[in-house]
Amino acid sequence: MIIRISSAFLILFSTIILPGQGRGDYSSGAIVQRLEKLNTLGSVLYMAAHPDDENTQLIAYYANGAHFRTGYVAATRGDGGQNLIGPEIRESLGVIRTQELLAARSVDGGEQFFSRANDFGYSKDPDETFRVWDRDQVLADFVWAIRKFRPDVIITRFSQEPGVTHGHHTASAILAMEAFEISGDSTVYPEQLQYVSPWAPAKIFYNIGLWAYRRSGRVFNDEGYLKLDVGQYNTHLGKSYTEISALSRSMHKSQGFGSSGSRGADFEYFEQWGGAASEQSLFEGINTSWSRVPDSEEVAYFMAEARRNFDPAQPANILGELLNARKALLKMPDQFWKEVKLAELKETILAITGTYLELTSERPYYVPGDSIKVNLEVINRSEADLILSSVTLDQNDERFIYNLPLENNQKNQFSYQFALSQRTPYTHPYWLNTEATEGMYSVSDQQLIGLPQNPPVLNARVSLSVDGQFLDYEVPVIFKTTDPVKGEVRSPLEIRPPVMVNLDSRALIFAGNKPKKMPVKVIAGKDRVSGSVMLNLPEGWKSSPGSYEVAIEEAGGEQSFDFLLTPPVAPSVAQISA
C-alpha cells in the first residue's frame, strides 16, 4: 500500500533576516562607492544554472571595483541540491537557497534574478535537461532578464560543450548564448515588449572554470584568453574583492560553502563568444561614462562635482550638487538611465544625510480582514533642511500631510491603524502558487518572472522635500524583534490563513492492511480558532477516531493530533489530505 500526503501548508518567510530600509551602509567609504557608481554607466550580467554557481569574485569586482550594475541570473533555485543545515528538501530547500543567494548579493553588491526552471536533480547532459525543462520558456526568461537589466556584457560560468559538466550547467550556457543572439530582435517574445524594449548586449564571454584543471591535475595555459585581476584591494571598503567574495560565498550555508578570504593578485580568464572582438579587456570599446547618454552633459557635470567635493566629515554638504543633478536627470530623454540613476541618487541622498526610514508592525503576521497597526520612524541625522511632506499607505491610498521640518537627530514617530483587505493574498513564494512540473514552475504574471522573492505585503510611500524637490521612498512594513542571542531580528510581514492544517508525513508505505499513525498539526493564524479536524479519505480507507475537536485561544498556537490510519485489504494507492 502506498499513500501520498497532501498538506494544506504555506512556505513562510519568518526566518529571513532583512537589512531593511534605512539600514544600509552609510559610512564615508560606502558613500564614495555610491558616488562612483552615480558616475558610471556600465552593466554586466552573469548567467549560470544554480545558486552557488556564480563567481562571487567577479561579481564583487564589477559591483564594487568597476562600479557597474552587476546581476546574476540563476536558471534554477537549487531545489534539487543537498541541505547541510536542516531537513528541508525540494521546494522548501529552493526557498532557503533563494534567501542564501539574496544574502550573498547583499554582501557582494550584485542583483539577483531567476528563471522558472526547476532543479530536478543531477542531469548527465543538456539534451536530458532540455527534455525536462521547457526550453522555450527558460530561453524566454533569459531574454526577459537581458531586456530588463540591459547589460553591456554577458558572462557565462560554463562551457557549451556537452559532457564537460552537469547537464543543467551546459544548458544554462547554451541558453545564455541563444538569448544573447535574439534579445535585440523585436519579433522574438513580443509579449514582453509591453514592459521592456529589445536589447542587444555588446559582448558575451565564457568565464573559464579553473577548478576543473585543479581537480584533474592539468596545467592551465592562459595563452589566447583575456584575463582580469580580481584580487585588487578597495581602500574605501577596507577589503580585497577576493575577501568580499569569501564573505559572499559563505552565505551558501545549505551547501557547506563556507570560504576563507584570500589576498593578493588573483586572475579570472575569459573566452569571447560574441560581439566586437576584445584584445585587452571585456569592456573594450564600450562607453561606460555619461557621454553614452544623449543630453546628459549637465547631469554628468553635477555628478562629477558631487564626487569631487565630497567631504567625509560633512557628507551632507554635497546635497546641492546631487539635487542639481536630479533636476537635470528629470529633463533627460533617456528613460532607462533616468530611472536607474534617479533610484541610485535617492538612496545616496539618504546616505549623505543619514536619514533613517522604517515602518514596523506590532505583530509578525496577520490574517486578511485583521486590524493592523504600523509605526513609522523618520530621523534626519544631518543639518540638511529636510521636510517630511506626506505619508501614503498603499493599502487604502490614504494620505497623511505633515510638512514637518526634520530637525537634526530628532526622532519622529507616527502610528497608523487600518483594516487589511479581505483580498490580501497569503504570504507564499509566488513561484509555488501553482503546481509545478518536474522541470518547470508555473508563473503567469510576466512582471513576477525573474524576481527573487515576493514584493512586500504592505508599503508606505514616504515623501520628503528639500529645496523644493520631492523625493518619494517606498518603505515596506516589516516586523522587528530582539532575540537574546542574535539581537535585533527583522523579518517580512506575513499574511496567513485563519487556520492551517499540516500533515507531518509526505508519504507512507503500508505492509498489508496494518494501521499506521498519521500525525496532524493545526496552527492558528488568529485568536480563538475552533472547529474539528478530520482526514479526507478515499473509499476503503478508515481513520480512528473520525475527527478531533480543535480549540486554540491565541494566534500562533498549535494543537497536534494522531489519527490511526487503516488501508483497505486490496492493494491501493491513495491521496490523503486533512
User: Maximum Cα–Cα distance for the chain, whole Å?
Assistant: 84
* Nine cell digits for residue 333: 530623454
Given a cut of 70, whether residue 16 has pLDDT beyond it is: no
Average per-residue pLDDT for the chain: 92
Look at the block and give the residue holding cell 545549505: 254
The full DSSP string for 543-565 is: EESS-EEEEE-STT-EEEEEEEE
Band of residue 574 on the pLDDT scale cut at 50, 70, 90: confident
Q: What is the mean pLDDT of residues 335-343?
A: 97
CATH number for the domain whose boundaries are 356-444+451-495: 2.60.40.10
7 band by pLDDT with thresholds 50, 70 and 90: very low
Residue among 558, 572, 576, 573 at smallest CA distance from 503: 576
Q: Work out the angle between the directed axes of helices 319-331 and 297-309 (0-180°, nearest 10).
A: 170
State what percent of residues in the chain have pLDDT above 90. Answer: 82
Q: What pLDDT was estimated at residue 516?
A: 87
Residue 299 CA to residue 342 CA, distance in Å, equals 11
Give the pLDDT band (50/70/90) at residue 5.
low
Task: Calculate the CA 452 to chain-centre distance.
Answer: 4
Q: Three cell numbers at 350? A: 539618504
pLDDT class for 9, splitting at 50, 70, 90?
very low
Q: At residue 223, what is the residue type?
A: E
301 compared with 261, residue with greater pLDDT:
301
What is the spatial distance between Cα 136 and Cα 121, in angstroms, rounded to a whole number? 20
Mean pLDDT, range 116-125, rounded to an integer: 94
Please determine, for residue 535, whether its predicted confidence score (pLDDT) is greater than 60. yes
Residue with the three cell numbers 494620505: 399
Crossing angle between the packed helical segments 90-108 and 241-249, to the nearest 10 degrees: 160
- Report strand pairing: 365-366 vs 542-544: unpaired
Per-residue CA distances from 551 to 148, 495, 527 (Å): 50, 21, 10
User: Cell for 139?
Assistant: 530561453
Q: Where are the alpha helices (DSSP H) in 332-365?
A: 335-353
Q: For the segment 364-382, what is each residue's pLDDT rounded down to a tens digit? A: 999 999 999 999 999 999 9
pLDDT of residue 11: 52
> In this predicted model, what pLDDT tens digit does every residue of 213-269 receive, in sequence order?
776 677 888 888 999 999 999 999 999 999 999 999 999 999 988 889 899 999 999
Least Cα distance to 149 among 440, 448, 450, 445 occurs for 450
Classify residue 426 by its DSSP letter: P
pLDDT at 18: 43
Rg (CA), the chain: 26
What is the band of 22 on the pLDDT scale with cuts at 50, 70, 90? very low
Residue-by-residue DSSP string for 171-207: HHHHHHHHHHHHTT-TTSSGGGGGT------SEEEEE
Residues 473-521 have pLDDT tens digits of 999 999 999 999 999 999 999 999 999 998 877 778 887 778 888 899 9
Sign of CA dihedral 161, 167, 172, 177: positive
SS3 (DSSP) at 360: strand
CATH superfamily for 42-285 is LmbE-like (3.40.50.10320)
Residue 8: pLDDT above 60? Answer: no
**pLDDT tens by residue, 61-81:** 999 999 999 999 999 999 998
Grouping H, G, I as helix, E, B as strand and the rest as coil, residue 65 is coil
Residue 334, Ramachandran bin (φ over 0: left; ψ between -120 and 50: alpha; else beta): beta
Q: Which of 158-172, 290-304, 558-572 has the highest mean pLDDT?
A: 290-304
Q: What's the CA gap between 1 and 514, in Å, rounded?
A: 10
Q: For residue 14, what pLDDT band results from cuts at 50, 70 and 90?
A: very low
Over range 25-34, report the average pLDDT: 96
pLDDT reported for residue 15: 40
**By three-state DSSP, how is residue 308 classified?**
helix
Across the range 129-152, mean pLDDT stands at 98
Of 146-150, 355-359, 515-519, the one with minimum mean pLDDT is: 515-519
* SS3 state at 472: strand
pLDDT(180) > 80: yes
Q: Are 526 and 498 in contact (CB under 8 A)?
A: yes
Mean per-residue pLDDT, 276-290: 97
Bridge partner residues of 501 (DSSP)? 8, 522
Reported as type and span, the H/E element at residue 359 is strand 356-361
Query: Would you list the DSSP string of 476-499?
Result: EEEEEEEETTTEEEEEE-EE--SE
pLDDT at 177 exceeding the cut of 90: yes
- Whether the Cβ atoms of residue 49 and residue 523 lie closer than 8 Å to each other: no
Indicate the pLDDT class of residue 353, thresholds 50, 70 and 90: very high
